[in-house]
Amino acid sequence: MGGHASGRELDGLAAAARAALVRRIEASGAWAADPGWREAFAAVPRHLFVPYYYVGVAGGYERRWGESTDPGARERWMRGAYEDTPLATRLRDGELLSSSSQPSLMADMLAALGVADGHTVLEIGAGTGYNAALLAHRLGDDKVTTVDLDPEITESARRHLAAAGYHPVVVTGDGARGVPERAPFDRIIATCALSTVPRAWVAQSRPGGRILMPLATGLIVLTVAGAGHAEGRFLHTPAYFVPLRGAGRPGGEPVQLGGVPRRAREDDLFRFLLALTRGSLDPQEAHALWEQEGRPQRERYGITVRGEREWAWLDDPEGPYAWPLPS
């Protein structure tokens, strides 16, 4: 680009970088089950949702900013905005508060959500607004509601969405409580980690609706049967998200892994089992089960919500391996 990154040159770079990102996601197979998402990712300009972001460097973070006076810095910002990687967008005292998720993971989640024309969607965790823009592009502004606890986040999401030409409903509130005034919803998708399924989400879903959320370093897809009952299995995909703030956020002390072989301690699938059974199995019990059952993949696990009960299970909701989730 040389030493003069003009607005026109940046627009050209954005178009080329966005097209390259779409090709990478397509090659990953992320939206094979629902190719309709390809057009949304091709159309929605991610860079408008990350006017600045932070990149990890030795000793902390480096801020990349689209309004930098340095043409090279603006080019790095633009190229980084279209990398298939999560971007840290809000920090406080060194703690990550908000991020823009990895686009291919977003594509995986949106495809698994199983939307259809006319569906209404509630997104928990507004973030930058980018995911809400993808949903609004596919379904229409009036079909999409996004909620976040932090008014600074919802205000910036509104600005980003408006700049990109989208106007879904943006609500400031506790996502664990849903948005009852906009219910019922056909689909609910969370972009923040929880340790339990909020009952409000089940209550605010139509019968046959779907809830997709990160839990225990995985992604659970629940089908709502009505009357406080929902059930489903985990996707194969690992997922690590910023925790939900407000009611329902994950908690607990770090698990001590003394006595567990190093190979298991470093295995993502074993650590998934530990997170899922926290408070029910100690690490040694979890390791014995993991080895006995052939080191199961995430897809063999599921969750059932029935009235006031909520439990995780391996293979069968009524089988021998079931563990209550924290209330």
Which of 126, 3, 23, 152 is CA-nearest to residue 71? 3
The reply to whether 62 falls in a domain is yes
Residue 249 has pLDDT above 60, yes or no: no
Q: Is residue 105 part of a domain?
A: yes
- Mean pLDDT lowest among 87-96, 151-160, 243-252, 314-323: 243-252
- Residue 132's domain comprises 2-191
Whether residues 272 and 141 fall in one domain: no
Asked whether residue 275 falls in the same domain as residue 172, the answer is no
Whole-angstrom Cα distance, residue 327 to residue 322?
15
In this structure, are residues 171 and 158 in contact, taking their beta carbons and an 8 Å threshold?
no
Q: Please report whether residue 319 resides in a domain.
A: yes
Query: What is residue 241's predicted lDDT score, i.e. its pLDDT?
Result: 85
Query: Could you tell me if 69 and 180 lie in one domain?
Result: yes
Domain count, the chain: 2
- Which of these three, 191, 208, 240, is where a domain ends? 191
Domain CATH number, residue 111 = 3.40.50.150
Same domain, 61 and 170: yes
Residues in the chain: 327
Whether residue 317 sits in one domain with residue 176 = no
**Residue finishing a domain among 165, 191, 217:** 191
Q: What's the whole-number mean pLDDT along residues 27-41?
A: 94
The predicted-structure confidence for 44-54, as pLDDT tens digits, reads as follows: 999 999 999 99
pLDDT at 169 > cutoff 90: yes
245 lies in some domain:
no
Residues with catalytic roles: 98
User: Considering the domain boundaries, does residue 34 fall inside one?
Assistant: yes
**pLDDT over 50 (residue 2):** no
